Amino acid sequence: MVDSVYEPTRDYCDKILANMGVETTYYDPLIGAGIEALIQPNTRIVFLESPGSITMEVQDVPTIAKIAHQHDCIVMLDNTWGVGINFKPFDYGVDISVQAATKYIVGHSDVMLGTATATEKYWPQLRDNSYLMGQCTSPDDLYLALRGIRTIGVRLRQHQTSALKVAKWLKKRPEVDTILHPAFESCPGHEFFKRDFTGSNGLFSFTLNCGNRAALTAFLDGLSHFKMGYSWGGFESLILGITSVDSIRSATKWTAEFPLIRLHIGLEDVDDLIEDLEQGFQRFNQVLTQR
C-alpha cells in the first residue's frame, strides 16, 4: 500500500484487513523499481494512488505494475484524480481501477458513489465479489452520475485552467515554499505526470515557509468562497489546512516544517478565489506579526 494513500484506505488496511489476518506493507510513493524488494511470498496486491492524497506525489505506475505482475500480484489504482480521462490506467498495467465517483464523475457534491473497473482477466472476480457483498446503488444516484458524465469534459477543463492560474499566483507569494501540483516541476513525480497524463484538474496542495496553527486558523476561518472539506470534485472551491502529515505516514518522513494547504479550485470566478486567498494571507501575516 502506497504511503501517501487516502487516510480512510489506510484505516481499512489497519483496522479491517488486519482483523482478517491480512498484512499490509506501506511503501514510498516514489519507490519505482524498488518495489520489488518489498514483495513477499504472501503479497497478493500492490495498491497505488497517483497523485497521492494530500501530498500529490505522482507514481511511476508502469514500472511498479510490471514488477508486480512478474510476482503474480494484482495491481490496483485509486485513479480518482485522473478520472479515467487524464490518466488511462489500463494502458499502464493496472488491473483494477477504483474511483470516488462522488468527486468529478458526479461533479455536483450531491451523491456518495464509488466505482471499480477491471481488465477482462479480473472482471469475473470483481463482479462476483461485488454481488456477494451486496454492493449496489440507487437509480436516482446512478442518474445523477450519468448527468455528471455528460459534462465532465468541459468541467475538468475549467477546473484545470482555474487551478493552474491560482497555482501560478501562489508560486509568487512570499509565504509559499513549494507548489505540489503535478503539472509543476516542484511536485515529486512531475516527470511521470508529463509522461503519462493528458491533463490535470482542480486539486493541488502547497506548503508554506512560515506559520503556525494560530496563523493557519486565521487564514482559514475568514475565507468567503473557499469552504473547508475533505471531499472535492464538485462545483465549489474547498480548502484543507494541515499542520502535520507525519500522523498519516509510516514508511516515509514528511520533511516540511510549516503547514500544508490543499485546495480544490471549483467553478467560481478565479479572480474572486485569488482575492479570497489574498485576504487570507493578510490575516495569516497579521497573526505572525503580533507574536
159 and 282 belong to one structural domain: yes
Q: Mention every residue, 6+ apart, whose C-beta is less than 8 A from residue 129.
A: none
Q: Mention every residue, 6+ apart, whose C-beta is less than 8 A from residue 24.
A: 1, 13, 14, 17, 18
Rounded to an integer, the average pLDDT of 10-32 is 96
| 3-state DSSP assignment of residue 241 | strand
16 and 118 belong to one structural domain: yes
> Is 112 inside a domain boundary?
yes
Amino acid sitting at position 148: G
User: What's the CATH number where 13 sits?
Assistant: 3.40.640.10
Closest to 39 in 3D by CA, of 69, 5, 63: 69
Please give the radius of gyration of the chain, using alpha carbons only, rounded to the nearest integer: 19
Report the DSSP beta bridge partners of residue 9.
none
173 and 232 belong to one structural domain: yes
Q: What is the pLDDT of residues 194-203, one digit of tens each?
A: 999 999 999 9
Percentage of the chain with pLDDT > 90?
93
Q: What confidence score (pLDDT) does residue 247 get? A: 78
> Is 138 inside a domain boundary?
no
Residue 221: C-alpha distances to residues 70, 125, 265, 279 (Å): 50, 47, 18, 11
> Is 140 inside a domain boundary?
no
Cis peptide before 51 (omega within 30 of 0): yes
> Is 137 inside a domain boundary?
no
Q: Which domain holds residue 274?
A: 151-290
In this model, does residue 221 exceed pLDDT 90? yes
Strand arrangement of the beta sheet that strand 96-99 belongs to: 45-49, 74-78, 96-99, 115-118
178 and 278 belong to one structural domain: yes
> Is 254 inside a domain boundary?
yes
158 and 54 belong to one structural domain: no
pTM: 0.95
In this model, does residue 189 exceed pLDDT 80? yes
> Is 144 inside a domain boundary?
no
> Is 142 inside a domain boundary?
no
Q: What confidence score (pLDDT) does residue 155 get? A: 97
> Is 1 inside a domain boundary?
no
175: left (phi over 0), alpha (psi -120 to 50) or beta: alpha
Q: What confidence score (pLDDT) does residue 255 get? A: 86
Q: What is the pLDDT of residues 97-150, one digit of tens each?
A: 999 999 999 999 999 999 999 999 999 999 999 999 999 999 999 999 999 999
Residues 117, 24: Cα–Cα separation, whole Å: 23
For the chain, the domain total comes to 2
Residues 101, 145: Cα–Cα separation, whole Å: 8
Pair 218, 283: CB distance under 8 Å:
yes
In this model, does residue 291 exceed pLDDT 70? no
User: What's the CATH number where 279 sits?
Assistant: 3.90.1150.10
Q: What confidence score (pLDDT) does residue 245 get? A: 84
